[in-house]
Structure 1
Amino acid sequence: MRTTVGADPWLRRFHPSPDAGVRLVCLPHAGGSASFYFPFSRAFPAAVEVLAVQYPGRQERHQEPAVADINLLADRITDALAAEADRPLALFGHSMGAMLAFEIASRLEELGIAVPQLFVSGRRAPSRHRAMESVHTFTDEGLVAELLALDGTDAELLADPEVLQMILPAIRSDYRAVETYRYRPRPKLLCPVVALTGDSDPRVDLDEARAWADHTSGSFDLRVFPGGHFYLSAQQTAVVELVQQRLLPLTWSEIRDG
């Protein structure tokens, strides 16, 4: 896997594209890492440069403490992205990553950095809260059972005690960040929003996905794909096509002229 790490620990360029017209910032799910988006990055043409976010506490950042707060994570990632705003920054987040993408989009717009497109996948709208979510308080066995039920983590890894010892602290921290997050009312986003979800996702129903429309004054679209919470893996080709349709027409002049 070819990776350009660079000076910033938060961002990975698996397929650097200096002449790209737009950057797509991809934010992983709870327990996920930047490498989840390697196939995603490889599938895009050179006109779209994918920046995959690497959270602390995993892979080459495994010795750093994980951050169990969505707003703090969003602050730090926004700081890292400010240096990448020499061209348009679109955002794609899955599950926990969708919450982060929303918070980052809000921060970028507050800084005067236009976000041409926000893609939120596998997550209900920020204003839709479900009571009694407490996976982060489960025993290790209960946490593993939750991961297996969502089918987003390799079962062989979860069966290896040494691997579990390495990955569970970051996973638990991510779940704590997700489950303690509370939406803070603020002005609607200006950017267009596309919500993507699996038709059998136990964590998001269609009404909760449609509610993303309440968080933008721009256009909104809902796309439903076959599959569960990790529909994204099986539906990668269709998702990439959708994202390309939205991003390839973008130019700086279109964004500047609004």
Structure 2
Amino acid sequence: MSPAEPLVAAPPRDARWFPRFGAPPPAAGTPGTRLVCFPYAGGTASVYRDWREHLGTEVMAVQLPGRGLRMREEPYTSAEPLVADVADELVRRGLTRDYAFFGHSMGALLAYEVGCALRDRGEPGPRHLFVSGSRAPHLYGDRTEHLLPDAELRGFAAGIGALGDGDQALLNGAYLDRRLPVLRADLRVCNGYRWRPRRPLGCPMTAFSASDDPVADAAEVEAWRPYTTSSFLHHLVRGDHFFLTADGPARQRLLRELRGELARLPRASGTPSDQKEPSWTY
């Protein structure tokens, strides 16, 4: 929930799902697997604005309605239509070839569900799924933070580190007041979600949990392991739920691990069945 969410220029209307930031788009033919990033509850695409330069590959971040340049749009309040619309946009834009997903908290849940939706449509699945700060899908649906009064919802946001160090003055400010409806809607998406059994994804999966995360502890993140038939790697970092937004060792390690694992993916060749798995397994 950073109060500074600048966008250099408004994106084309048909590109509103994937806003462009200050860095120019990569040149055609840029090697590497595209990383599509999903925001946490109440978050915006801007949290990923500098990831391209850190990861050395194309990074596209999903901008959900109700925030950024989509401020005037109503946010989603349930997962099913949101997942369907994101999948529609990825297919329409031709972004379902040689791609990986990253999602933090609610974003991890969305990344998983969009991956399943694309598979159901016969589209190639993600080549790697990175989940961060999120319980496994079957552990969702038992919380009611979206029903809290505004004052208590502000306190909840502060308690999980959503405002960041030094941002406590925003608790009573106009900025957070504008963001509360979006946060509440996103929490309704999470708390109303119910996992339905289906076969695991076939791509490798990497999970990140933080030592002081009150939202998703290490055991709840480890519970993602059965969601893939491929390799699973779990990293534990120091920090709270929003370790990825603080410029410290935990964020640096996250970016380093992402860069390394994306670089280890073999070059895509034709159909998913032609793609080799990484040499390591866990």
Counterparts of 2:231 and 2:9 in 1: how far apart (Å)?
34
Deviation at 1:157, TM superposition (A): 3.2
Pair 1:62–1:130, CA change in 2 (3 A):
closer
Match of 1:101 in 2: 111
Match of 1:149 in 2: 159
Say if 2:256 is the partner of 1:241.
yes
Counterparts of 1:257 and 1:204 in 2: how far apart (Å)?
35
Structure 1 residue ranges (4+ consecutive) displaced by more than 6 angstroms after TM superposition: none
Corresponding residue to 1:257 among 250, 267, 274 = 274
Q: Which range is displaced more, 200-209 or 52-61? A: 200-209
Question: Any residues of structure 2 matched to 1:52-131 within 5 Å, and which?
Answer: 52-82=61-91, 83-85=93-95, 87-110=97-120, 111-129=122-140, 131=142
AA in 2 matched with 1:218: S
Structure 1 vs Structure 2 CA RMSD: 1.9
Deviation at 1:13, TM superposition (A): 3.4
Match of 2:17 in 1: 10
TM-score (norm 2): 0.84
Counterparts of 1:222 and 1:35 in 2: how far apart (Å)?
26
Match of 1:194 in 2: 206
Deviation at 1:179, TM superposition (A): 0.7
Unaligned runs of 5+ in 1: none
Match of 1:174 in 2: 186
- 1:229 partner SS: coil
TM-score (norm 1): 0.91
CA contact (8 A) 1:70 1:177 kept: yes
CA contact (8 A) 1:93 1:99 kept: yes
Deviations 1:92-144 (A, max 9, x none): 0000001001101111222231311000000011112463x111000000000
Deviations 1:167-209 (A, max 9, x none): 1111110011111111011111111111111011111122211
- 2:229 partner SS: coil
Deviation at 1:86, TM superposition (A): 6.1
AA in 2 matched with 1:219: S
Corresponding residue to 2:244 among 226, 232, 235 = 232
Deviation at 1:40, TM superposition (A): 2.6
Pair 1:86–1:136, CA change in 2 (3 A):
closer
Counterparts of 1:62 and 1:252 in 2: how far apart (Å)?
37
Q: State the identity as a percent.
A: 35
Counterparts of 1:43 and 1:70 in 2: how far apart (Å)?
30
Count of paired positions: 254
